[in-house]
Amino acid sequence: MTATETLLELRDVEASYNQAIVALRDVSLKVRRGEIVALLGANGSGKTTILNATSRLLAAERGQITSGKILFDGRSTSKSSTAELAQKGLVQVLEGRRVFRSLTVEENLASGALARRSNRRELRDDLDYVYGVFPQLKHRRRSLAGLLSGGEQQMTAIGRAMMTHPRLLILDEPSMGLAPLVVEEIYQVLGALNRMKGLSLLVAEQNAYVALRHAHRGYVVENGVVVLEGAAATLQEREDVKDFYLGRNTRAHRRESPTRTNYAAV
């Protein structure tokens, strides 16, 4: 893989909280341009820490990167703020579909454009674009975001991120708490943005089934360590992944966990 094909790279990243709890050890991963990459793992395995380290949000959680490098578009992110990274095209949709509950849908979306200092015309075009992607939001544009369904709030959070014109969109558990049909709809939209706009995606999910169906490649994290990586189709077929992450075996926790395997060549 040449440097220009790689949009995001984590190299041997270690991170801890409160200078005490080690949350990531030696994490290396890549997102190529135009790729959807799934980050899988159980509760507390380190997915959010990887995403927050990438978008420079760790300090807000009293966390820090203690060693290793994170490169976006070939450049180290260590001196950038979250807002600066967003301006460069790396944007995160936080876990729990955070929206400004007392603002309308349209005000929420417009807040995503603030960093771009768009004029009225550009703002209108961007809003129209998001409404084209999520027609439901157009009907609800004057509703308070706090009164929307969970799915509509997730669409609003993704729409707000789209207003910043990302090149890499990072999503933390977009399926959390949503009905299967709504989850499918959201992933269909993410897939379309990837295909039509070339948007690259890094998606943390506990719902491995849906994530692997839509991703090109995946990484499995356990206890802060990447234990598996490979093509999504290959991961889906692995017996240990089926047992642990695709819910095939309810007694999975008694079985041996996946072993570190490198499927990078797949």
Ligand X SMILES: Nc1ncnc2c1ncn2[C@@H]1O[C@H](COP(=O)(O)OP(=O)(O)OP(=O)(O)O)[C@@H](O)[C@H]1O
Closest separation between CB of residue 62 and ligand X, Å? 6
In terms of CB distance, is 106 or 229 closer to ligand X?
Answer: 229
Residue with the two structure tokens 């991170």: 15
When binding is defined by CB under 6 A, the residue of 12, 21, 114, 177 that contacts ligand X is 21
**According to the binding rule CB under 6 A, does residue 154 interact with ligand X?**
no
Closest separation between CB of residue 88 and ligand X, Å? 24
Closest separation between CB of residue 161 and ligand X, Å? 19
Tell me how far apart the alpha carbons of residues 60 and 253 are, in angstroms, rounded to a whole number: 33
In the region spanning residues 34 to 93, those forming contacts with ligand X, defined by CB under 6 A, are 41, 43-49, 61-62
In terms of CB distance, is 62 or 255 closer to ligand X?
Answer: 62
**According to the binding rule CB under 6 A, does residue 175 interact with ligand X?**
no
**According to the binding rule CB under 6 A, does residue 13 interact with ligand X?**
no
In terms of CB distance, is 54 or 80 closer to ligand X?
Answer: 54
Buried b or exposed e, range 142-152, using 16+ CB within 10 angstroms: eebbeebeebb
The token pair at 91 is 């944007």
Work out the number of other CB atoms within 10 angstroms of the CB of residue 248: 12
Strands, DSSP E only, in 48-153?
Answer: 63-72, 75-76, 90-93
**CA–CA distances in Å: residue 77 to residues 9, 61, 170, 175, 264:** 10, 18, 15, 28, 24
Residues that bind ligand X (CB under 6 A): 17-18, 21, 23, 41, 43-49, 61-62, 206
